[in-house]
Amino acid sequence: MKMNEIIEQVNEVLVDEFEVEAETITPEANLRETLDLDSLDYVDLVVAIESISGVKLGEEDFKSIESFKDFYGVLESKIQEK
C-alpha cells in the first residue's frame, strides 16, 4: 500500500470516527489541537490505524508527533520496518 493511500484512509477515519473537519487536516496542523483527543480517543485512533496499516503505534511514537506530517512520517517508518 502506498503512503498516499494510507494518508487518505487515515484522514477518512479521522473525519468519520473523530468528527474532524477534513479541511483542518493539513501537514502543518498540530495533531493534538486539531483532533482534541482524550486518552480513550487515542486508543481508538491506535486501533483504527492498526486496522488500516497493520502497524501498531505506541505511546512512545506519539511523544515525537507534533503535526500531521510527523504523524504520517512515524506511520511510514513503522510500515517500512514491518
Q: pLDDT tens, 20-67?
A: 999 999 999 999 999 998 889 989 999 999 998 899 999 899 999 999
Partner residues linked to 46 by β-bridges: none
Which residues share a beta bridge with 30? 67
| Nearest C-alpha neighbor of 28 from the set 64, 71, 68 | 68
Instruction: Give the pLDDT of residue 23.
Output: 97
**In which domain, by residue range, is 46 found?**
3-81
CATH number of 68's domain: 1.10.1200.10
Does 1 have pLDDT greater than 90? Answer: no
Number of domains in the chain: 1
Cell numbers placing 21: 473537519
Instruction: Report the alpha-carbon distance of residue 16 to residue 9 in Å, rounded.
Output: 10
